[in-house]
Amino acid sequence: MAIRQIVTIPDPVLRNKAQKVSKVGEEEKKLARDLLDTLEVAKDPEGAGIAATQIGVSKKMCVVRNFFPDPAKNGEYTHEDYVLINPKIVSTSKETEIDYEGCLSVPNVYGKVERYKKIKVDALDISGERIKIKAQDFFARTVQHEIDHLEGVLFTDRVVGGVITEQEMDALFSQEGQ
């Protein structure tokens, strides 16, 4: 298990466009394992995805997590992880949605971001095979967020309105629960 340090702002690697992966070899497979391990232990907030740039590696690779209800555990969620190499959004829905986002590389900051509700992504998997993924709702938001990282774009660049702190976010959610 190789848990890597998550890079945070203002580290310049977060603003650089990542380099395209030319072949999927042992180095890329190790990087994918490191991303998976690092994401698995990421807390506050729990990570839904992580890009290679977030651990200081300028390669077009990310891990995205698709959450869904676990039929074996009433009311609990489980997830499936996808390793995406050289991901590219090939189509989007016309419909968009504005919702809050946060980021492991931008601690204690949240803001509303407009994203496409549905997307189709073309990428390579960890075996170097071409895959196509259809994503919608929160999963589509996660994929778009991670692909932005690979282009040197942070969610704060896309915030609609202002940003809030984690404490303000917690207060907002506790008010909604009343």
Catalytic sites, residue numbers: 146
Question: Shortest CA distance to 60 belongs to which of 39, 102, 88?
Answer: 88
Query: Residue 5: CB partners within 8 Å, gap ≥ 6?
Result: 55, 56
With contact defined as beta carbons under 8 Å apart, do 50 and 38 qualify? yes
Query: Is 62 marked as binding a ligand?
Result: no
Beta bridge partners of 63: 50, 83
Query: Is 79 marked as binding a ligand?
Result: no
Between CA 31 and CA 118 the distance in angstroms is 28
DSSP letter at 44 equals T
Known binding-site residues equal 103, 145, 149
Q: Which residues are annotated as a binding site for Fe cation?
A: 103, 145, 149
